[in-house]
Amino acid sequence: MIPPPRLPPGFRILRLLLPVAALAGFLVVVLAAGLLVVGQFVTGGDEAAEEGTTCEAGTGGVGGELSADAPKTSAELDPVQRQTAATIIGVAKGMAIPPRGWVVALATAMQESQMGTVGMDVAVDHDSLGVFQQRPSQGWGSPEEVRDPVYATRTFFERLLTVPDWETMPVTRAAQVVQRSAFPDAYAKWESLANSLVTDLAGVAGAIQECVPAAEAGPGPAAALPPGVARTAIEFATAETGKPYVWGATGPGSYDCSGLMLRAYQRAGIVLPRVSRDQYHAGAHVPVEQAQPGDLLFWAYEESDPDTIHHVAMYLGNGQMMEAQQSGVPLGIRAVRWDEDELVALATRPGTGSERA
């Protein structure tokens, strides 16, 4: 019997490696198929996976648009939702939170729990519970505490107040910094509803809207400022007593006259123009003798010409006003007389009135 021809040594090694190569190829195919399947369920790659792990509070849904049956005004909420909203506003008032904060909290509660109607007692996302879907495992409180709407609201505001410049952030951004949601833009769609709730349940309208442009505002109906708005602006302004006047400064260490008014009303939720001449047009006008606490008083080189306005102050009531007067004079309160030189005859009530006379 003639033995089969022997392969050269190199070919013998190649024959031994063929099964190993076939197995490796099979494993590559299986792994690739697995990655494709996973990709169907995890969109956004590493960024999406990482973003999802940062969520400390649950989410009541995703997306930036409202569904057709979603409530768009306070009248469309059910009794439980309206009671929850009233509780949030009540806690906010008790903590002296500016109305802008009410809007942030209401939009957050609507997104997280549909205003107290989803996930209140049984977690639907990790261990998230209550109005704001706060997680006990992340330090928000015990399960019993976060289920309590009053406790949950107070805790939400306490964390919101630690966020630098939250008053000037978009609502969805301020909410996201507190909640750290996997869907940071989802709060924005509830801002209109939140504004409606603040208006209907608390009677605060001008406090949650930017003032109209100077070309459209002016001496329209001079509705009274809601007490909470005027109080918030006054408390902010007077708390800056003793700080230095610096021309062009808007805080926090120093202010000029219009910079102080800008920040005071910003704290109350009303956005004023930057300079005094434009602030004069940022609301309805009333005779200075009828000024109410929170109204703005103006001084002009020509008292009858608003284009010559050079100074603004905040009326506090009882013949007193708060101002950032001039260089060398610290911010403070002083008496005001209605016959002062250069005092403009009309005061401005920020955020009210929308029609020029």
Tokens of 203: 């009677």
Q: Is residue 25 scored above 50 in pLDDT?
A: yes
What pLDDT shows up at residue 210? 41
pLDDT, tens only, 170-207: 888 899 999 887 777 788 888 888 887 887 776 554 44
What is the reported pTM?
0.45
- For 108-149, give the DSSP string: HHHHHHTTTTSSSSS-SSTT-BTTTTB-GGGTS--HHHHHSH
Sign of CA dihedral 17, 23, 28, 29: positive
**Are residues 314 and 321 in contact, defined by beta-carbon separation less than 8 angstroms?**
yes
| Helical (H) or strand (E) element with 285 | strand 283-287
Q: pLDDT grade, residue 14 (50/70/90)?
A: low
What pLDDT shows up at residue 51? 35
**Are residues 74 and 88 in contact, defined by beta-carbon separation less than 8 angstroms?**
no
Among 14-18, 38-42, 308-312, 353-357, the least confident range = 38-42
Q: pLDDT grade, residue 226 (50/70/90)?
A: low
Among 182-196, 273-287, 289-303, the least confident range = 182-196
Higher-pLDDT residue of 251, 51: 251
**Are residues 132 and 156 in contact, defined by beta-carbon separation less than 8 angstroms?**
yes
Q: pLDDT grade, residue 126 (50/70/90)?
A: confident
The radius of gyration of the chain's CA atoms, rounded to the nearest angstrom, is: 30
What pLDDT shows up at residue 169? 84
What pLDDT shows up at residue 186? 81
SS3 of 155, please?
Answer: helix
Q: Which amino acid is at 268?
A: A
Tokens of 229: 């708005």
Q: Nearest to residue 331, comparing CAs of 259, 240, 250, 213?
A: 240
Q: Which positions are annotated as active-site residues?
A: 257, 311, 323
What pLDDT shows up at residue 52? 33
**Are residues 311 and 277 in contact, defined by beta-carbon separation less than 8 angstroms?**
no
**Are residues 99 and 173 in contact, defined by beta-carbon separation less than 8 angstroms?**
no
Tokens of 249: 């400064």
Higher-pLDDT residue of 202, 265: 265
Rounded-to-integer distance, Cα 206 and Cα 348, Å: 13
Q: Is residue 323 scored above 90 in pLDDT?
A: yes
Query: For the residues 231-238, what does the mean pLDDT come to?
Result: 91
Q: Is residue 159 scored above 90 in pLDDT?
A: yes
What pLDDT shows up at residue 5? 56
Rounded-to-integer distance, Cα 103 and Cα 97, Å: 11
Q: Is residue 242 scored above 90 in pLDDT?
A: yes
What pLDDT shows up at residue 105? 94
Higher-pLDDT residue of 296, 265: 296
What pLDDT shows up at residue 23? 63
- Helix (H) and strand (E) counts for the chain? 11, 6
What pLDDT shows up at residue 207? 42
**% pLDDT > 90, the chain:** 37
Query: For the residues 261-288, what does the mean pLDDT come to?
Result: 89
Q: Phi and psi (nearest 5°) for 47?
A: -60, -45
pLDDT, tens only, 39-89: 333 333 333 333 333 323 333 344 455 666 678 777 788 888 888 888 898
SS3 of 338, please?
Answer: coil
| pLDDT, mean over the chain | 78
What pLDDT shows up at residue 28? 58
Domain range annotation of the chain: 74-203, 211-350
Rounded-to-integer distance, Cα 104 and Cα 90, Å: 14
Four-way CATH pick for 211-350: 1.20.1090.10, 3.30.2320.50, 3.30.9.10, 3.90.1720.10 = 3.90.1720.10
Helices in the chain by DSSP H: which ranges?
Answer: 9-39, 45-52, 79-94, 99-113, 143-147, 149-160, 171-179, 191-202, 227-239, 257-267, 276-279
**Cα within 13 Å of Cα(98), Cβ side:** 26
**Are residues 191 and 107 in contact, defined by beta-carbon separation less than 8 angstroms?**
yes
Q: Is residue 125 scored above 80 in pLDDT?
A: no
